[in-house]
Structure 1
Amino acid sequence: MNKAAVIVAGGKGTRMGAPISKQYLPIGGEPVLMRTLRVFHEVDSSIKLILVIPGTDFSYWEALCDQYQFQIPHVLVAGGNSRFQSVRNGLDTLTWEEGLVAIHDGVRPFVKKEVIEHSFREALQSGSGIAVIALKDSIRKLGDDGKSCYQERQDFRLVQTPQTFLLSKIKKAFQVTEIPQFTDDATVYEHQGWQVSLIAGNLENIKITTPEDLAYGEFLLSQGKAK
């Protein structure tokens, strides 16, 4: 079965407040994106890696690869004006009739290998494998009247990536017109009337978007809780 991973990093990372986009910042001695690509490559070196970044960043990324002697094979694809468009651009490069594809945030470098493996197994069996984690805190729902009400936290999950799918189904799902309700790839898949299958993610699989996230990532690495 052909396997691919679309690593999406099309944003500018303005919340980081750094002179360069968050996906290129070093963590543990190398840019975030390189760490993310490496974990998928180490799971299975045959996985076709597709890196979606702004087209204007291609030369900068290639210079970083030279600087860090990064030689893991991957295909560069220009991102779109939204995450939906960036993912679709990545999917469009895959011409296989059958296969599996993991879609993953480029700024989640601490996903565990077993989560990636589980997502591929579940997608092969049921069509999709979406990484989620349970909530630790109590939650409340805000109403239009300004009042709030208690919610059973065990009824909810926090959604991560990878979100892995049968290629034929997710490519069909992304042929529709983008709507605001498409907050991730699972919602695009569900729009076709298909039920998604959830798998256990890992707590360390944070999305690095702020300086605090970057500092926490460095802490995880120093404590040996992430690789």
Structure 2
Amino acid sequence: MSAIFGISQSFMKKYAIIVAGGSGTRMGSPIPKQYLEIGNKPILMHSLEKFFKTDSSIRLILVIPEVDFDFWRALCEKFDFTVPHQLVKGGKSRFQSVRNGLAQIEKTDGLVAIHDGVRPFVKPEVIMESFKTAEAEGSAIAVVALKDSIRKLTDDGKSFFQERQYFRLVQTPQTFQVQKIKKAFEVTELHHFTDDATVYEHQGWQVSLIAGNVENIKITTPEDMEYGNYLLGKNPM
């Protein structure tokens, strides 16, 4: 199983579910943000390529709204995008979209990374470490430390200082043993399921954290697009 860092010692099948169901509301764009271009290519293509170039044996599952299927296929033709991937229709929420993606994985002895489609700057090292840690510990959640001071707001309008060393910003990929995460997603969706880690934790399992990379932003606003183009200018993909 070759990768850009050499030969992987794991023989477990690897999957990556790339979730891209955004509407582009905060971007103020007529088309969803995942299809906007940075570096002369849609954001979503950069994200898929990052996993493919890291390890071409990873089976890619792309989850987008079903109404976007024809549009996406047209984009693939326009940009001559040939990275192999399976197209799966999204649900009404991220939870449902991820569950639809997991349903495409029949075997339960593998590893699956779940990644936001609008995070194209994840480092290959983070992807590989997420699979390694998930294989050993059941899960691997990419996080980064906070740089700024933080305060906690209360309902009565007050605020209180918090020690930032006790907090982390959560990114993706969030990688799991397939058997465990499929079981976790069998439950009814709850309002506090803000990401895949919270669904996993609902089973009573502790998540394992790994170091993410600060450039791995979730592109959501026009300012993020500007920063994304800046990053591409420094380090072309």
> Which residue of the partner structure matches residue 87 of structure 2?
76
> TM-score, with normalisation over the residues of structure 1?
0.98
CA distance in 1 between counterparts of 2:108 and 2:151 reads 45
CA distance in 2 between counterparts of 1:35 and 1:146 reads 42
2:230 to 207, 219, 224: 219
Secondary structure at 2:26's aligned position in 1? helix
1:154 to 2:157 alignment: no
Report deviation, 1:44: 0.8
- Which runs of 5 or more residues in structure 2 are unaligned? 1-11
The Cα offsets for residues 1-36 of structure 1, whole Å up to 9 and x where unpaired, read as 110000000121211111111000111110001000
The Cα offsets for residues 180-223 of structure 1, whole Å up to 9 and x where unpaired, read as 10000000000000000000000000000111100100011112
- Which runs of 5 or more residues in structure 1 are unaligned? none
Which amino acid in the other structure matches residue 76 of structure 1?
Answer: L
Q: Is the 8 A contact 2:24 2:30 kept in 1?
A: no
Which amino acid in the other structure matches residue 160 of structure 2?
Answer: C
Counterparts in 2 of 1:60-99, with a 5 A limit? 60-99=71-110
Give RMSD over aligned pairs: 0.7
* Percent identical residues: 69
Secondary structure at 1:145's aligned position in 2? coil
> Which residue of the partner structure matches residue 21 of structure 1?
32
1:136 to 2:138 alignment: no
Secondary structure at 1:87's aligned position in 2? helix
CA distance in 2 between counterparts of 1:159 and 1:41 reads 23
How many equivalent residue pairs?
226
> Which residue of the partner structure matches residue 49 of structure 1?
60
Report deviation, 1:66: 0.3
> TM-score, with normalisation over the residues of structure 2?
0.94
> Which residue of the partner structure matches residue 209 of structure 2?
198
CA distance in 1 between counterparts of 2:75 and 2:128 reads 28
